[in-house]
Structure 1
Amino acid sequence: MSFQSSAINDEELVHYAVRYGHIISLEVYLNQNPKCINKLYTYGQSKWTPLLAACFYKHEHIVRMLLTRFKPEIEALGTITLHSIDNRLDLAEEVSSLWTATAVNHFGIVKLLIEHGNANINHLIKTHSTALRAACYHNNLEMVKYLIEHGADPHQSKKGNYTNLMLSAGRRYPIIVNYLVNELKCNINERDENGQTALYYAVRSGSLEITKFLLENGAINIRDDKRKVTPLMRAALFGEINLVEAFKDYSTDIEWIEAKELLATSFSGCISRIENLSRTIEYLNEAFELRLTKNLPKQIITEPLELFHYRHECETIEELNQLLSSNTRDSLRIEAILIHQRLLGNDQSDYHDVIYHYGVNLAYNRQYHECFRWWFYEIDLKQKYNSIIQTDHLNHFISLFVQMKFNDHIDIPIEDLLQLFKIMNYVLISNHYRESFDVNLITLLHLITIISRIIYSENLDEKQELSIDYYRDLYKSMRSIIRHQYKTKTTGLSFLHLCTSSLTENIPFSIDYPCWMTTRLLIDCNADVNALDLNGNTPLHTLVQNISSSNVLKTIDLLCNAGVHLDYVNKDGQTPLQLVPSFRIKIIERLKKKMDVICLKCCCARLIRQQQFSYQNILSTSLIDFVRKH
């Protein structure tokens, strides 16, 4: 009897049978189509043979049937999707059936594939993960031992030199860690591509048990290459007192003293984790006493900065006591920052984070001007050392400008606006920020909108008196931005498209679009009012489709006065007028009125298109482009 299925195609049929464990349906189909046993089927992002799919869906009876009744290619490779640690879908490529079975933690199928299929136990997937690594990931000691007994290589690491020991330490699996170290003799001080060891992973995971075990078995407190901190320093930075104490008998005198100093800073409140100033004072005093006892004075080589009011770090316990007699909280925070600078260095992200979060504290207390000084210092450091400037940090500038000007009615320092202009331009032209280009472009648009409201707003609370020099500098910066002709990567929207649209995402409070003031400023700085997006829409096309009626008529007038073409057609052959909803009577009337003064050149171009005259080989390139837009 022939296997029939009129409702679904063969690919769906095979997948359905395997997914739901319909062994008879699958067997009948494969008997009729034996060549399909090794066919690579596509289902969503997955690519697999029937055997691979059966392993993924944990159907041991189907795997057994395929191995005994047919001759599937055990080492056929495919692609599967798995849930990662943070519950995202990860694509695993070049996976074998055995690796898939271990990845879904099915010991029965693993045994079948090895004992009845002679599967390659050391197959490497695209990332060089092995079946043994997948077993370690699931904390399955029984499976790990089985794989080792059948020839698994315990020393094979994933790309980036991420060992099974690092994985197990990071996932807080003490039994697996013990087995890998004591039974398999894995190198406890192996370093990954960032110079981090299993001890670092244990500390990062917060596992006191594994941290102690590794230290007792010879783990070294090695400074990594990425963050330039040791596992002990990392524990101290995050205020992990118990983890720090675990290192007491396994660190040098200077390592222990500096750990106490970093532990003190973690409780100072200069970062947004914890604040306990009594602990800060306690650990700073301990560190000074140890320095005195061990004769290890501080080695301070950094020059005092104006930003810190030329303060230097306390070098004796007497200086610390004198400091504590002043404004304790702020004094201790500055002290903590200076300690970070000495121990971590100006080029490290941990130090940059401390600088940024201190600025956040200043902003919270409405010390806006001081906040900007610290934030710009952090960005200067990131630019100097080629570190990535966080998109969120740039957005926070905008939010604070909005808070200052439109909520608290405080004038924004023009120097800060100009400085942010330079930073945004740097970010937009840099290849390091390609993935966040559109988000950063929107941030720059918000900055332009704030400036436009300072200049043009009819609300006196928003306007700001500017000197001629400031006007000149602002317009110079704006024109420099406009000359780059920035457009969003995804849709090709210019600034004029964006400010005439109904932007709703990531908009700071008190900024609304469409915005006639932003439109005016862009036009005054020579923005192209006839710029086209990827769908051939001009800013006027974008504007008239807005649901909001706020400022639309005023913005239409601005665009028309600046020379926008009302008869340009988009890729669907529609003019702006044709896109206006029928109930938007005022907008239709305004556009029709403006259409009465369309120039002769436009009429000719539209007539050529309507009459389908041949013009490609007659007109110049610029005129051909002009005609096509009508």
Structure 2
Amino acid sequence: MSSKLSLFEIELLKTKVFQAARDGRAISIFSMLWNLDRETVVNEVLNHHTSEQGQWTTPLIIAARNGQDKVVLILLSNFNANVEQTGTVKFDGFSIEGATPLWCAAGAGHHNIVKMLIEHGANVNHTTATNSTPLRAACFDGRLDIVKYLIENKADVSIANRYKNTCLMISCYKGHKDVVQFLLDSGAPMDERALCGATALHFSAECGHVDIVKLLVEHAAQIVNNNSGLSPLMVAAECIEVAVVEYLTSAQDCCLQSKIDAYELLGASFANDKEQYDLEKAYLFLHKGMVERYKDPKRVLLKSVLPPVSAYENHVECQTLEELERIQLIPGALHMEGLAVRERILGSDNQEVAHPVIYRGAVFADSGSFDRCIALWLHAMQLRQNVKRSISKDLLRFAQVFSQMVHLGNLPVFESVLEVFERGTVELKNDRERLKNSPDDNENLQEIYEENFHTLLYLLIIATKLKPSVHQITEVCRAVYKLLQQHPKLRNGYTPLHMATASGTIVDDFHVNDVVSFPNGNLCKLLLDCGAEVNARDKLGNTSLHLIVQYIHPINDFENLHTCMMALLKAGAHLDIRNNDGKTASDVATTIVAEAIIRKNNVISLKCIAARSVKQAGVPYKGFIPRALEDFVLMH
């Protein structure tokens, strides 16, 4: 550390140098650093990371990212900045961790800076946290000039990222034909498979880049299936890439069954796609597929149809041209034909099958046909959950449409609400497994877990508004008991009962907030009836009673306040439990109404008095009484 600068001055210098590098003020950087000790002060300043707008970068990294070539030149030539520094930068809204200055320059298309960095010894194959190379970054943006320069300087074209996506794959996906051609000429492996089993040919077919598909085919790319069992042709059909389908089906080595499947899948996808919905084209390609089936009268290829699906109105796929022609002008029948065809060809375990089912359900909901919507969405949810796919969005979608129905006075069927709740309870268990098995994605998975937790409470509140019969109440209690057996909690320690009594519990604002609010007396009673622990404490030591007495709308929502408090007290809530600040529910009550309810019901049991006496007198009790009693004494 230089004796000429104080700690404060060095910290200020770090900020000023970073800002100058970010903004391209090269001369300012030179003047600020030239007379300072290189080994101590300059080194510390240039290796310091600054956090700004979601990025965590050094002066050299931010200069390379922003294309400040003069700054980069000065930092490299005059101050020997470390070219292998890594930081976090943002590209197109995505955070890239472990990015070097070279990766940033290549990704942002700054050829001059790429050249400078390599001339100053930058490792051309230094990867990010996801194993992305500078070459991959340049391929993503289609910068052929940078791609050529990197390869000329020993960039390895075969390095794949953590998902096993190669530089060739990303170039095919983005549609950069000139880059694809150069990579192929440079020996890039063409038939490598990504983690999902897809090849470069799959990626180009998926995005409709027919010119690249032709290029790969001309280079004898292998035709293989991805992990979902789909060839590039079927991927193109599923993604409604007509030009690619027509090109690949015209190939001499395309077998008749593949051609039929592609035409039928293409037509089925047109029938229920949100972005490319077109019934005329749907019928056209379904018809083409049927024609191919009967092209050879001696070798008719009949369908192996699936059993009818109730959600598809038990629609049975057309087996002949005559049957297909009869539904040509019946939109509803074509819609169901399309859904049935997609599920047959793609398979029920393909994650793409559910998307058009959900879209068609949403169309029904928009027209007020809620029963048809719910049937389709339940089927889509079952498809996803059967193959362990997340149903988080499905759960919330149901809560929204159920709330809309309740608000409109068109009450949903109780059994449908219960089924969604039960599937949500299973999903919560699956969420915990995902959290356990994927520690690297803990933050995101925890967020999903808590969102699902909230949604389950929305569904329970909705269920209480449906005037359930005695039998239905028994069924919902059984389902709630299964939820409570999981002991679900938020990060702050909130149990379902805490959430039911907290006014700050989040409510989704798309229809749900029309019928759901917190605190909620009916939900509180239901949870207690099903075995919720009345004296459970959150991470601040608060019980549900601590939360409800702080409700700030005791007059205009007296019923909820009173219902929650009385339900808690009747269930055995201890009035003398102290939170981490040593305060009881009475101590934190914010309204006269809550205080009055506490005073009226202030009955302290003998065991509570005994526990308080033990605590106040400092009597040793740990190890001398049962563990359950130790926890009881500790609460007081």
Range into which the TM-score falls when normalised by the shorter chain: 0.7 to 0.9
SS at match of 2:87: strand
1:545 aligns with: 550
1:192 aligns with: 194
1:460 aligns with: none
Q: Tell me how far 1:516 sits from its aligned partner.
A: 0.8
Question: What is the letter of the counterpart of residue 241 of structure 1?
Answer: V
- Does residue 171 in structure 1 map to residue 174 in structure 2? yes
Q: Tell me how far 1:316 sits from its aligned partner.
A: 1.6
Question: What is the letter of the counterpart of residue 159 of structure 1?
Answer: R
Structure 1, unpaired ranges of 5+: 455-462
Distance in 2 (alpha carbons) for counterparts of 1:209 and 1:30? 57
SS at match of 1:475: helix
Distance in 1 (alpha carbons) for counterparts of 2:354 and 2:392? 14
1:260 to 248, 258, 263: 263
Distance in 1 (alpha carbons) for counterparts of 2:416 and 2:592? 43
Cα–Cα, structure 1 residues 592 and 169, in superposed 2: closer, same or farther, change >3 Å? Answer: same
- Does residue 315 in structure 1 map to residue 322 in structure 2? no
Which string of whole-angstrom CA distances, capped at 9 and with x for unpartnered residues, describes residues 46-85 of structure 1? 77776556545655445444544555555x4x43122234
1:113 aligns with: 117
SS at match of 1:89: strand
Which string of whole-angstrom CA distances, capped at 9 and with x for unpartnered residues, describes residues 98-117 of structure 1? 444434433333323333x3
1:445 to 437, 448, 457: 457
Which string of whole-angstrom CA distances, capped at 9 and with x for unpartnered residues, describes residues 217-265 of structure 1? 444554321x433333333333333443443533444333322222211
Cα–Cα, structure 1 residues 88 and 156, in superposed 2: closer, same or farther, change >3 Å? Answer: closer
1:511 to 508, 511, 516: 516
Q: Tell me how far 1:4 sits from its aligned partner.
A: 4.9
SS at match of 2:352: helix
Cα–Cα, structure 1 residues 194 and 28, in superposed 2: closer, same or farther, change >3 Å? Answer: same
1:339 to 338, 341, 359: 341
1:413 aligns with: 413
Q: How does 1:378-527 map to 2 (within 5 A)?
A: 378-384=380-386, 386-410=387-411, 412-430=412-430, 431-434=432-435, 435=445, 436-454=448-466, 463-464=467-468, 466=469, 468-488=470-490, 490-502=491-503, 503-506=505-508, 508=512, 509-527=514-532
Question: What percent identity do the matched residue pairs reach?
Answer: 28
Question: What is the letter of the counterpart of residue 517 of structure 2?
Answer: D
1:536 to 534, 541, 547: 541
SS at match of 1:536: coil
Cα–Cα, structure 1 residues 352 and 67, in superposed 2: closer, same or farther, change >3 Å? Answer: closer
Distance in 2 (alpha carbons) for counterparts of 1:564 and 1:108? 71
1:457 aligns with: none
Question: What is the letter of the counterpart of residue 261 of structure 2?
Answer: E
Structure 2, unpaired ranges of 5+: 22-28, 436-444
SS at match of 1:135: helix
Maintained 8 Å contact 2:18/2:50: no
SS at match of 2:88: strand
SS at match of 1:82: strand
Question: What is the letter of the counterpart of residue 582 of structure 2?
Answer: G
Question: What is the letter of the counterpart of residue 634 of structure 2?
Answer: R
Q: Tell me how far 1:9 sits from its aligned partner.
A: 5.7
Distance in 2 (alpha carbons) for counterparts of 1:49 and 1:519? 52
Q: Tell me how far 1:445 sits from its aligned partner.
A: 1.1
Q: Tell me how far 1:606 sits from its aligned partner.
A: 3.4
- Does residue 591 in structure 1 map to residue 592 in structure 2? no
Cα–Cα, structure 1 residues 342 and 514, in superposed 2: closer, same or farther, change >3 Å? Answer: same
1:229 aligns with: 230
Q: Tell me how far 1:394 sits from its aligned partner.
A: 1.3
2:25 aligns with: none
Distance in 2 (alpha carbons) for counterparts of 1:146 and 1:306? 57
Maintained 8 Å contact 1:236/1:263: yes
Cα–Cα, structure 1 residues 31 and 369, in superposed 2: closer, same or farther, change >3 Å? Answer: closer
1:135 to 135, 138, 141: 138
Distance in 1 (alpha carbons) for counterparts of 2:579 and 2:607? 19
Cα–Cα, structure 1 residues 32 and 565, in superposed 2: closer, same or farther, change >3 Å? Answer: same
Distance in 2 (alpha carbons) for counterparts of 1:286 and 1:57? 52
2:20 aligns with: 20
Which string of whole-angstrom CA distances, capped at 9 and with x for unpartnered residues, describes residues 135-154 of structure 1? 32333222222222222223
Cα–Cα, structure 1 residues 298 and 84, in superposed 2: closer, same or farther, change >3 Å? Answer: farther
TM-score (norm 1): 0.85
Q: How does 1:179-328 map to 2 (within 5 A)?
A: 179-181=182-184, 183-219=185-221, 221-225=223-227, 227-250=228-251, 251-268=254-271, 270-293=272-295, 297-305=300-308, 307=310, 308=312, 310-324=314-328, 328=330
Maintained 8 Å contact 2:497/2:534: yes
Distance in 2 (alpha carbons) for counterparts of 1:35 and 1:25? 10
Which string of whole-angstrom CA distances, capped at 9 and with x for unpartnered residues, describes residues 457-506 of structure 1? xxxxxx34x2x443433332233333333222x11211111111122332
Cα–Cα, structure 1 residues 202 and 418, in superposed 2: closer, same or farther, change >3 Å? Answer: same
Cα–Cα, structure 1 residues 11 and 133, in superposed 2: closer, same or farther, change >3 Å? Answer: farther
Cα–Cα, structure 1 residues 18 and 399, in superposed 2: closer, same or farther, change >3 Å? Answer: closer
Distance in 1 (alpha carbons) for counterparts of 2:292 and 2:9? 76
Q: Structure 1 stretch 3-12 or stretch 133-142: which is displaced more?
A: 3-12
Q: Tell me how far 1:393 sits from its aligned partner.
A: 0.7
2:611 to 596, 605, 609: 605
1:349 aligns with: 351
- Does residue 36 in structure 1 map to residue 32 in structure 2? no
Q: Tell me how far 1:388 sits from its aligned partner.
A: 0.8
Maintained 8 Å contact 2:106/2:137: yes
Cα–Cα, structure 1 residues 470 and 31, in superposed 2: closer, same or farther, change >3 Å? Answer: closer
Maintained 8 Å contact 2:172/2:204: yes
Q: Tell me how far 1:5 sits from its aligned partner.
A: 4.8
Cα–Cα, structure 1 residues 6 and 623, in superposed 2: closer, same or farther, change >3 Å? Answer: same
Cα–Cα, structure 1 residues 534 and 5, in superposed 2: closer, same or farther, change >3 Å? Answer: same
Distance in 1 (alpha carbons) for counterparts of 2:507 and 2:406? 21
2:26 aligns with: none
SS at match of 1:81: strand
Q: Tell me how far 1:532 sits from its aligned partner.
A: 0.8
Question: What is the letter of the counterpart of residue 444 of structure 1?
Answer: L
- Does residue 576 in structure 1 map to residue 585 in structure 2? yes
1:458 aligns with: none
Maintained 8 Å contact 2:385/2:391: no
Which string of whole-angstrom CA distances, capped at 9 and with x for unpartnered residues, describes residues 538-596 of structure 1? 01111122333322123212211221112211112122222233xx222222223333x
1:459 aligns with: none
2:569 to 553, 560, 571: 560
Cα–Cα, structure 1 residues 47 and 575, in superposed 2: closer, same or farther, change >3 Å? Answer: same
Distance in 2 (alpha carbons) for counterparts of 1:366 and 1:317? 33
Which string of whole-angstrom CA distances, capped at 9 and with x for unpartnered residues, describes residues 387-440 of structure 1? 313211112222333333442343x43433442343122112224554222111
Q: Structure 1 stretch 20-29 or stretch 214-223: which is displaced more?
A: 214-223
Q: Tell me how far 1:323 sits from its aligned partner.
A: 3.7
Aligned residues: 603
